[in-house]
Amino acid sequence: MELTPDLLKTLYRYLVTTRTLENRVATICQSQNANDPLIVGKGYLSTGQEAISVGASVALRQGDWLAVGHRDMGAHLVRGITPQEIFAQYFCRATSLTQGRDENIHFGCTEKKILGFISHMGASACVANGLAAAMKYRGDPNFVLTTFGDGASSQGIVHESLNYAAVFKLPVVFIINNNRYAISTPVQEQFTVKNLSDRAAGYGIPGMLVDGNDVVAVYQNTLKAREHVLAGKGPVLMECKTMRMCGHGTHDSAGYVPRDEIAAWEKRDPLLLMKERLVKEIDFTEEADKKLNLEVNELIEAAWQAAAKGPAPRAEDLLTGVYTEVNDGRNDLRRGDTPSPLYRHGR
Show contacts with another protein in window 223-262 (CB under 8 A): none
**Rounded CA separation 43/39 (Å):** 8
Stretch of residues binding another protein (CB under 8 A), selected from 18-26, 190-198, 296-304, 312-320: 312-320
- Residue 117-146 contact track with another protein, rule CB under 8 A, x = bound: -xxx-xxxxxxxxxxxxxx-xx-----x--
Residues 163-182 that bind another protein (CB under 8 A): 163-164, 167
Residues 14-73 that bind another protein (CB under 8 A): 40-41, 65
Closer CB to another protein, residue 102 or residue 211? Answer: 102
Closer CB to another protein, residue 51 or residue 135? Answer: 135
Size of the site for another protein (CB under 8 A): 73
102 in contact with another protein (CB under 8 A) = yes
Closer CB to another protein, residue 5 or residue 63? Answer: 63
CB 218 within 8 A of CB 240: yes
| Torsion over CA: 122, 216, 227, 61 (sign) | positive
295 in contact with another protein (CB under 8 A) = no
**Rounded CA separation 117/53 (Å):** 14
State the DSSP string of 130-189.
HHHHHHHHHT-S--EEEEEETTGGGSHHHHHHHHHHHHTT--EEEEEEE-SEETTEEGGG
282 in contact with another protein (CB under 8 A) = no
CB of 240 to another protein, least distance (A): 23
313 in contact with another protein (CB under 8 A) = yes
Spatial CB neighbours of 316, under 8 Å, sequence gap ≥ 6: none
The SS3 assignment for 237 reads: strand
Task: Please measure the distance between the N-terminal and C-terminal CA atoms of the chain and give it in whole angstroms.
Answer: 46
312 in contact with another protein (CB under 8 A) = yes
274 in contact with another protein (CB under 8 A) = no
What is each CA distance from 88 to 63, 106, 206, in whole angstroms?
26, 12, 40
273 in contact with another protein (CB under 8 A) = no
Closer CB to another protein, residue 167 or residue 264? Answer: 167
Closer CB to another protein, residue 103 or residue 269? Answer: 103
DSSP 332: G
Closer CB to another protein, residue 267 or residue 344? Answer: 344
CB of 205 to another protein, least distance (A): 14
Burial class of residue 130, CB neighbours in 10 A (0-12, 13-18, 19+): middle
Side-chain-side CA neighbours of 174 within 13 Å: the count stands at: 38
